[in-house]
């Protein structure tokens, strides 16, 4: 397993403040973001590495745990340890770094979902045990300290499509506390919103996280496919034949849609960027797909019948 120097990855000193760490992360994340480097696998891996470093150094508890490991590893290097031969068993048994012990917490359910974390991260924070460099077996109590982890609180919420388009808030009751949670615009069924450190406390006072599982309800005007919305509009026969304009409902009010001459019933037209906002992408929207339903009149006046008869005679 390869040791990760998170300070080096973010380009900050060990004495860096929280603001300095945040600033370095934002600068690097912007530079290596996949949206700015499409198809660049090296940039993608660098982006994952940056996120992992920030996940640790921006969290005081994880940062403290990592610093314990880092100090132990440095002590081993200064003692002349050869690269690649470090015994992670010894580290977690407390034989390096002045007898410091590293607690391996079972956080796999949390961090495993985010994806892209290294073996090093998973060993320290994801509940995975260190890989052994020998078959020597130590008593379990000497290998790992596994304190009781705080419980996470999970709740399913239902929001309307209108709320999913504009974003909304929900107030969640956890014990005696009320937590107001912002649901971002563009949320869809299956979106998971995490609020860290507001869940139930364990015996040591550490708090778990709140997870909201979003479900978007049906809408009588629109159906949703990904970030696109689908709707229909009724068009009279004359407008379909000769062309014209009709009003179409969107999530932001009515807009005018041009109907070309000779439009067929159920023909579909696309209104660019009138669909759902794309989650976590500023100013990005899907499209609104409009199906034209041509209405054939069921009753005609005598004058209308006469005109249609004349039209028929022209064929």
Across the range 223-239, mean pLDDT stands at 95
Total number of domains in the chain: 3
Q: Say which CATH number the domain at 238 has.
A: 2.60.260.20
pLDDT bracket for residue 137 (50, 70, 90) = very low
Last residue of a domain, one of 170, 193, 216: 216
pLDDT at 134: 40
pLDDT at 304: 87
pLDDT at 135 over 90: no
Same domain flag for 74 and 133:
yes
76-125 pLDDT, tens digit each: 666 655 555 555 544 544 443 333 222 223 333 333 333 456 777 766 76
Across the range 38-51, mean pLDDT stands at 86
Task: Judge contact between 215 and 189, C-beta under 8 A.
Answer: yes
262-312 pLDDT, tens digit each: 999 999 999 999 999 998 888 999 999 999 999 999 888 999 889 889 888
pLDDT at 165: 97
Last residue of a domain, one of 112, 143, 174: 143
Task: Judge contact between 104 and 127, C-beta under 8 A.
Answer: yes
pLDDT over 70 percentage in the chain: 74
Q: What is the pTM of this model?
A: 0.52
Same domain flag for 65 and 182:
no
Same domain flag for 16 and 133:
yes
Same domain flag for 123 and 12:
yes
pLDDT at 101: 29
pLDDT at 68 over 50: yes
Answer yes or no: is 195 within a domain. Answer: yes
154-177 pLDDT, tens digit each: 889 999 999 999 999 999 888 788
Where does residue 128 rank: exposed (0-12), middle (13-18), buried (19+ CB within 10 A)? middle
Across the range 211-232, mean pLDDT stands at 93
Answer yes or no: is 1 within a domain. Answer: no
Helical spans, DSSP H, in the chain = 6-10, 18-32, 41-57, 60-78, 88-93, 108-114, 119-125, 140-143, 161-166, 237-242, 302-313
Show Cβ contacts of residue 49 under 8 Å, excluding neighbours closer than 6 positions.
4, 9, 118
Where does residue 90 rank: exposed (0-12), middle (13-18), buried (19+ CB within 10 A)? middle
Same domain flag for 209 and 270:
no
Last residue of a domain, one of 195, 216, 237: 216
Answer yes or no: is 148 within a domain. Answer: no
The boundaries of the domain holding residue 272 are 223-313
pLDDT at 162: 96
pLDDT at 226 over 50: yes
Task: Judge contact between 174 and 119, C-beta under 8 A.
Answer: no
pLDDT at 178: 87
pLDDT at 292: 97
Same domain flag for 80 and 187:
no
Task: Judge contact between 189 and 196, C-beta under 8 A.
Answer: no
**Within 10 A of 64 (CB to CB), how many other CB atoms are there?**
9
pLDDT bracket for residue 29 (50, 70, 90) = confident
Mean pLDDT, the chain, integer = 79
Same domain flag for 71 and 198:
no
């Amino acid at each position: 397993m390869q040791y990760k120097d998170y300070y080096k990855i973010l380009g900050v000193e060990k004495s860096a403040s929280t603001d300095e760490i945040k600033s370095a992360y934002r600068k690097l994340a912007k530079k290596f973001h996949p949206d700015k480097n499409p198809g660049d696998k090296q940039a993608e891996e660098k982006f994952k590495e940056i996120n992992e470093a920030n996940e640790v150094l921006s969290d005081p508890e994880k940062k403290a745990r990592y610093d314990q490991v880092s100090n132990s590893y440095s002590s081993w290097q200064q003692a002349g340890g050869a690269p690649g031969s470090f015994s992670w068993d010894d580290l977690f048994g407390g034989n390096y770094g002045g007898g410091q012990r590293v607690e391996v917490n079972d956080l796999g359910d949390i961090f495993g979902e985010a994806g892209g974390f290294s073996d090093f991260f998973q060993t320290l924070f994801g509940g995975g045990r260190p890989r052994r460099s020998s078959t020597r077996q130590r008593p379990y109590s000497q290998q790992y300290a596994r304190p009781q982890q705080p419980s996470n609180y999970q709740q399913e919420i239902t929001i309307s499509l209108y709320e999913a388009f504009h974003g909304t808030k929900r107030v969640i009751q956890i014990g005696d506390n009320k937590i107001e949670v912002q649901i971002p615009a563009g949320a869809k069924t299956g979106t998971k919103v995490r609020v860290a450190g507001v869940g139930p406390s364990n015996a040591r006072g550490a708090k778990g996280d709140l997870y909201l599982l979003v479900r978007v309800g049906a809408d009588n005007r629109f159906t949703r496919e990904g970030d696109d919305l689908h709707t229909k509009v009724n068009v009279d026969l004359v407008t379909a034949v000769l062309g014209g304009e009709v009003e179409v409902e969107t999530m932001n009010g009515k807009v005018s849609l041009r109907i070309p001459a000779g439009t067929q019933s159920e023909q579909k037209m696309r209104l660019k960027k009138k669909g759902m906002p794309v989650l976590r992408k500023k100013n990005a929207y899907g499209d609104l797909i409009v199906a034209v339903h041509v209405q054939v009149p069921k009753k005609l006046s005598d004058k209308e019948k006469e005109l249609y008869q004349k039209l028929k005679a022209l064929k």
